[in-house]
Amino acid sequence: MIRLFLDANVLFTATHNPSGKAAFIIDLGSQGYWEVMSCSYVIEEARRNLSIKFPHYLERFESLMATIIKVPSRSGRMCPVLLLEKDRPILEAAIHCKATHLLTGVGDIQN
């Protein structure tokens, strides 16, 4: 079974763009084509960003979260590769839950 671990960018985009690819991935997961999962660390990041940029989509966000598998968050201290500190818990959670794929997107680039 394909197990997709979604990063906050994917959850954020799926919420405010219901006809986009990210939402399609979650929809297919709810239909049983694959498992879709994320952790509270990621979910809270997406929720926080939505509340700032698109607060009127928070109800949709909660509906989407009801369709995904929540896995335990990790500390990031055991991350097997060198990543930014904020990204280590995400990769570690994806590995720990035996995700076959980690889906992410390009976030805001800070100068």
- The answer to whether the beta carbons of residues 25 and 4 sit under 8 Å apart is yes
Q: Which amino acid is at 58?
A: L
User: Where in the chain are the domains?
Assistant: 3-103
Q: Specify the pLDDT at position 110.
A: 42
First to last CA, the chain: 40
Second CATH level (architecture) for the domain 3-103? 3-Layer(aba) Sandwich (3.40)
Q: Return per-residue pLDDT of the chain as tens, 111 residues.
A: 999 999 999 999 999 999 999 999 999 999 999 999 999 999 999 999 999 999 999 999 999 999 999 998 877 567 666 666 677 888 889 988 899 999 998 554 443
Q: Specify the pLDDT at position 109.
A: 41
Q: Specify the pLDDT at position 7.
A: 95
Q: Specify the pLDDT at position 88.
A: 80
DSSP 3-state of 91: helix
